[in-house]
A and B are shown apart, each in its own frame.
Chain A
Amino acid sequence: MSEIEEPSAPRRVIGTPPTAPPAVDIRKEPAEPPFDAEPENPRHARNAERLVGALFVLAFLAGCGFIAAYVGLEVGSDRLPAGTNAVDAVLRSNLALGLSLSVALLALGTGSMIWVRHLTPNIEIEEERHDLRSSDADRAAFQKEFAEGAAISQVTRRPIIRRTMLLATAPLALAPLLLLRDLGPLPGTSLRHTVWRKGLRAVTLGGNRPLRPADMDSPGTMITVIPEGYQDDEDALAKAGVILIKFAPGEMSFPNRYDGGTLVATMNWTIDNIVAYSKICTHVGCPVALYEQTTHHILCPCHQSTFDAANGAWVIFGPAPRPLPQLPLMLDADGYLAAASDFTQPVGPSFWERG
């Protein structure tokens, strides 16, 4: 019942050569530390004890402070008195709660540190490492029983079971992957088009105002525009954002450019020295918005792809592989700037099927 054999191990002190290692049972530890719970220097230990006590009392007070701060400091404009700055209130609350929490935790930590370092006796013991590798006898016994079990299961002798077992589970194993199919629609051709179409007006982002060329009379003017009516459609905006840049006469000049037979950039698509480029970087899709009017560089802040706005957004530095697509511009019946058609190439990052 409680008669557990436990071969007693010899007492060992550090530095003496080890005796022969005991049997394989890893739960038997030979070393027993000489038991002495008294600290070496009682006066020092008493001082340490008092210090630890003081620190724990400090932690207690700080913890109470945390509770008081929580109860006493309100946040949120619906619970604060009218006219209180909500951000100030959060600042006070955060400071009070955080400071009390920090003091409590650090006091606990310091107290525990001093406790273990100055109150406990300085005992070191030695534990033996046993070979991780099992003995040959154990290994042989394991192999024997494993082989016996395998033989009993008949798997080794019944090829039909073996071969059909994997077959049976294969489709079920694939089923979870199959079930993921409806995570999203197939891309189809949706990456090739944006919502821009002939006659769709460009409106300013934020102001939602259509623009006439005269609104951009100063060379160096730049503004972000979106298709009219789509200001709340983020999926559309993520591809349809456009920047308009105004140049002085003669400043902008680039030849017609083609991408596999399709015209993708031409001065004919500008109006009154105003050019429209896609705001979606052709690298990985950040809004490319930094415009330096002195160098007419458009810089994307994500990875520093740089495009020359006076040269059809030609790439002059950085990882972007293609110039920014140009949006054909026209004036609609009321004289506002509008798209003459959709972009003639897919906007944004490259993809395998792009062509």
Chain B
Amino acid sequence: MSDDAVKIPAAVSGAGGWLDDRFHGARGVRVLMRKVFPDHWSFMLGEIALWSFVILLLTGTYLALFFVPSMNPIVYHGSYVKLDGIRMSEAYASTLNISFDIRGGLLMRQIHHWAGDLFMVAIMAHMLRVFFTGAYRKPREVNWLIGIVLFTLGMVEGLFGYSLPDDQLSGAGLRITEGVAQGIPIVGTYIAYFLFGGPFPGNSIVPRMYILHVLLIPGLILSLITAHLFIMFHQKHTQMPALGNTEKNVVGQPFWPYFLLKGQAWFFFIFGALAVLGTFAQINPVWLYGPYTPLAISSASQPDFYMGILEGSLRMMPPWEYNFLGHTLSLSVVIPALLPLAIIFTGAALWPFFEQWATGDRSVHNINDRPRNAPVRTGIGMAAVCFYGILWAEGANDVLADKLQIPLYTVTWIARVAIFVVPIGAYFVTKRICLGLQRKDRDLLSHGVEIGIIRQLPSGEFVEEARPLTDEERALVEAKKVPAALPAPGEPDANGVPAPGARGMMGKARAMANRAFTETIVAGDGHGNGHGHGNGHGAVEGGEHAAIGSGEAEGSPEEH
């Protein structure tokens, strides 16, 4: 055994006592110190977003001390002599000032922009992790919705942020924003004029974006992040399926000191990665773009990557416009502006509730799913990823055409076809892959893990030796909850009217969805189904039923 506990210095315990006298903290802070955060690398993705946001606040505050959010034109006479004598807005001039006349200014600007990009990357990676492991299920639906709102706010915040310097590239993006706003039916011209304070470009958009970007939206993001973390804290984090992990416990290392130390390391690595990017990778070189003028534009004009999906949908559309009764409806603008993001965000927001409706599963889930054990969810998730990805790639179609030597219109035509074909194909391929992996897991349970030793039997046949699974491996492979099939509705009544719950389109849709969700392969098929192995293998799992995926899971499979 060890020595006695460490002696706390009197100053620290004195301060602690002073606080406790006023805040009753001893028991509460003890709970905090004992709190367990499970360890898995994919659980750290959300923290990348958190620390990136902190770095955004720090660097952003620094930049705000020097940035002038005004569109008043001035003539430039600063250090960047290539633009000397050029008429530009004060916002652009102050950005050049930060970059070339203030020590550390360019570094702070670059770290700020890289952190903004990394924030969005982390949110997307984190969101995908939560989705594919089913961590959005009860009781975490509200946190999932908060996350979607944070995603949206992040996009808008980034859009405003990179548009503040009023350079040629971001100004073109604002022009597109104005054109899209103008095209909205009925209220479009009013929205455009109110947003820009008159005709484009006007004098108001930069100061307005500024106050949204530095005050309002960060405030909203900060409060939502606080809520997001508090809920996660209160409900405790999910954990991956493993030996010893149950729905009723959390296994890992305690907050004090492990999580603090790890959090410290993680923060420094994230900040360090951003510092490396800010030092060695030039981002948003506004001095090369030049100040915004409405009659100039560059090839390869793309927004930051998280707006790429909007850009791609604008590029993909055919020219559909309708005139009637003195009005013009421009679907080639309205559809890209509204539809793809609506599909993604509404779909994501409704998904937890759709899954509950389809599976009838309203129990609490604290253990994550392995993606292979939820083929429909994983398949639909991959379809959504492909949908998003194709629109995103199309946003860079001229760069792809230039670098990959594909004709420009061909890239667009490929995208126009792929946007329908690829997500559907991705769903089926992913689902099949998941079912195949489940089959492999089942084989692992029945045959054990092959260990690379080949043995020749007296009969001349070669077999590969296998060892039985360790307890940890078995726990992982067996950890799956097959969603129960919905109880079969009762028989139709004497007049042929089907039972309530199975009636009508909703009932039939629910039954169909339920069948898809419950189609899965249960572990432990027993005697290797015609695999052609000899008998030289390890322990065979006794016979549980296998409902092999073909949609005939009318009787509910046994839960293991």
Chain A positions within 8 Å of B, measured between CB atoms, are: 4, 14-15, 18, 21, 26-27, 29, 31, 33, 35-38, 70, 73-78, 86-87, 90, 93-95, 97-99, 101-102, 105-106, 108-110, 112-113, 115-116, 120, 123-129, 132, 180, 183-187, 190-191, 205, 224, 226, 232, 234-235, 237-239, 241, 260, 279, 283-287, 289-290, 301-305, 315, 317-322, 348-355
B258 A304 Cβ-Cβ under 8 A: no
Closest B residue to A318 using CB positions: B319
Given A125-B36, A352-B189, 9 more pairs with CB closer than 8 A: A27-B31, A37-B6, A102-B279, A105-B269, A124-B252, A190-B199, A235-B202, A350-B183, A352-B183
**Interface membership of chain B positions 259-291, coded 1 if the CB is closer than 8 angstroms to chain A and 0 otherwise:** 001101111110110011011100000000000
B87 A232 Cβ-Cβ under 8 A: yes
B129 at the binding interface (Cβ < 8 Å):
no
A-B pairs with beta carbons under 8 Å apart, 10 shown: A98-B275, A110-B265, A112-B264, A191-B199, A235-B199, A238-B200, A238-B294, A319-B332, A322-B321, A354-B327
Closest A residue to B266 using CB positions: A109
A97-B104, A319-B317 as given contacts; A304 in contact with B182, CB under 8 Å: no
Residues of B within 8 A of A109 (CB): 265-269, 271-272
Residues of B within 8 A of A70 (CB): 103-104
A35 B2 Cβ-Cβ under 8 A: yes
B253 A124 Cβ-Cβ under 8 A: yes
Residues of A within 8 A of B236 (CB): 127, 129
B328 at the binding interface (Cβ < 8 Å):
yes
Closest B residue to A38 using CB positions: B2
A101-B275, A303-B315 as given contacts; A184 in contact with B204, CB under 8 Å: yes
A77 B79 Cβ-Cβ under 8 A: yes
Min CB distance, A239 to chain B, in Å? 7
A102-B275, A237-B294, A321-B320 as given contacts; A129 in contact with B247, CB under 8 Å: yes
Residues of B within 8 A of A302 (CB): 172, 176, 297, 301, 314-315
Which residues of B224-269 have CB atoms within 8 Å of chain A's CB atoms?
235-236, 244, 247-254, 257-258, 261-262, 264-269
A237 B244 Cβ-Cβ under 8 A: no
Specify which of A284, A290, A315 is in contact with B183 (CB 8 Å cutoff): A284
Complex-state Cα separation, A123 to B178, whole angstroms? 58
Residues of B within 8 A of A113 (CB): 265, 269
**Interface membership of chain B positions 62-100, coded 1 if the CB is closer than 8 angstroms to chain A and 0 otherwise:** 000000000001000011110000010000000000011
A128 B248 Cβ-Cβ under 8 A: yes
B107 at the binding interface (Cβ < 8 Å):
yes
A101 B279 Cβ-Cβ under 8 A: yes
Tell which of A37, A70, A283 has the most Cβ of chain B within 10 Å. A283
A97-B104, A98-B278, A241-B295 as given contacts; A127 in contact with B202, CB under 8 Å: no
A128-B249, A285-B179 as given contacts; A120 in contact with B299, CB under 8 Å: no
B438 at the binding interface (Cβ < 8 Å):
no
Residues of A within 8 A of B269 (CB): 105-106, 109, 113
Residues of A within 8 A of B189 (CB): 187, 191, 351-353
